[in-house]
Copies of this chain bind each other. A is one copy, B any other.
Amino acid sequence: MTIYPSRLIEEAVTEISRLPGIGKKSALRLVLHLLKREPEVVRTLANAIIEVREKTSYCKTCGNIADSDECAICTSHKRDKGIICIVEDSRDVLAIENTGQYNGVYHVLGGVISPIDGIGPDELSIQPLIDRLNKNPREIKEIILALSPTMEGDTTAFYVSKKIKSFSLKISSISRGIPIGGELEYTDEITLGRSILSRISYQTGD
């Protein structure tokens, strides 16, 4: 057990080390760093943490992080409400938004099916998705499944696609294959194998 020079340091280290990926050593380094900063800077940090927790809400339509009742994407008139991209969490929305390649809307599941972690379909926002499709039977044309190519992601994609099969929708999935700029010889065999099976026709430009 580490001996701390003061009770306050110990408390701060304990609280900070509860954050994911931050152990006691890193927490102590952060605390000693904070001690060297101006009190004003430290108060700004602490307030930003409190504010983000107390004032952030979730979009009632898609489940994404929002400043108010509905998120900026769902309220935008520029977005195509006919395409819904299904993602695991808000981080994935951010990642896709930052590509600048997508103009539809989202549906955040809030996780993926993972029996080991005790997460079943009922823990995810799947029923709200079905309700959303029922409410807008004409408007929504396509569902894009944008889940990670892991066991859990694939299971979830399969489950969701089965649940929404009865709607007359185009269901697609983001493509998997060799990352752009990746070297063929260093690609793992599963990815490489799949990329051959799911080969796409070459565009010769004529």
Contacts from A to B (Cβ < 8 Å): 2-9, 11-12, 14-16, 18-21, 26, 28-35, 37, 39, 41-56, 64-67, 71-72, 89-91, 93-94, 97-98
Whether B67 lies near A7 (C-beta < 8 A) is yes
Nearest CB in chain B: distance from A74 CB, A: 11
Contact status of A48 and B5, CB under 8 A, knowing A32-B89, A37-B53, A53-B34: no
Copies of this protein in the complex: 2
Q: How near does chain B come to A116, taking the closest CB pair, in angstroms?
A: 19
Q: A16-B45, A16-B48, A34-B52 are in contact. List 19 more A-B contacts (CB 8 A).
A: A2-B98, A5-B64, A5-B66, A5-B71, A6-B56, A8-B51, A11-B52, A12-B48, A15-B45, A15-B48, A15-B49, A18-B41, A19-B30, A19-B45, A28-B94, A42-B53, A43-B53, A46-B46, A49-B49
Q: Measured between alpha carbons, how far is A126 from B67 in the docked complex, in Å?
A: 52
Query: In the complex, A97 Cα to B35 Cα: how many Å?
Result: 20
Chain B residue with Cβ nearest A54: B39
When the two chains form their complex, are residues B50 and A42 in contact, meaning their CB atoms are under 8 A apart? Answer: yes
* Chain B residue nearest in CB terms to A8: B52
B residues near A18, Cβ cutoff 8 Å? 41, 45
Complex interface: chain B residues within 8 A of A9 (CB): 52, 56, 65
